[in-house]
Amino acid sequence: MPHRRKFCQLKESQITSMPAPDRSFARRLAQDSLAEGDPVGWFETFYQAAAGDATRISWADLQPNPNLVSWLARRPSPAVGANALVVGCGLGDDAEELARRGYRVMAFDVALRAIAWCRERFPASGVDYRVSDLLALPNEWRGAFSLVVEIYTLQVLPPDVRAVAAAALADCVAPGGTLLVIARGREPADDAGQMPWPLTRSELEQVGAGSLEITSFEDFFDTEEPPVRRFRIEYRRATR
């Protein structure tokens, strides 16, 4: 799906006044980006505005996502040569965790500044960090990965774009491979609120419909204060 990429040029006052962390600022940027016809271009602007301060990024904990870690802990070590793709990798902690556990990892983000930040944080890393757009992935990634990990990316996309992104995720899974999605969850009758929008079970059941099978769907509350409802879903592509 083609779309324009138009990054905002920030004034110094916008950068220095950005609170830490600040979702309202991210929501304003996202709204402006959507108005320009680009649902993901705002990420670059947001990372620029953080000006190297990770405390200004609400989703950056500088450690791997605990719901990914607990999922990995109950799985066997990856087979020799198993590769993983991390979607919307942010500052790289999830990608580094997968590499530590033995995967050959490629991780991408639409924000050039985020990828540069990953390389600065992990200069000796074996992770292949790349700039790419989930809505326009390279053809050679189709069916190429043993494991695809998506955490909290679908829920920052508006509903009309989410289905395109979900199909792109499924396309990256190799025969016999796994897609792991972790998202904030809600009931269909619940207020969707503001971005990042919690997702419903039915929305997530449509991810990879016709090509992937759901092998596990977990509905739980995390350990945040207050606890947040999460969905953790494991999908699998049949082996040819």
pTM: 0.89
Please write the tens of the pLDDT for every residue from 188-205: 999 988 888 999 999 999
Alpha helices in 79-205 (DSSP H): 93-100, 112-121, 159-171, 201-205
Within 8 A by CB and 6+ apart from 172, the residues are: 85, 137, 141, 142, 143, 144, 145, 148, 179
Provide the 3-class DSSP secondary structure of residue 137.
coil
Which domains does the chain show, CATH number per domain? 12-56 (no CATH), 66-236 (3.40.50.150)
Residue 12 — pLDDT band, cuts 50, 70, 90?
Answer: very low
Amino acid at 19: P
Phi, psi values for residue 88, rounded to 5°:
55, 60
Please write the tens of the pLDDT for every residue from 92-123: 999 999 999 999 999 999 999 999 999 999 99
Residue-level pLDDT at 224: 85
- Is the separation of the CB atoms in 202 and 214 below 8 Å? no
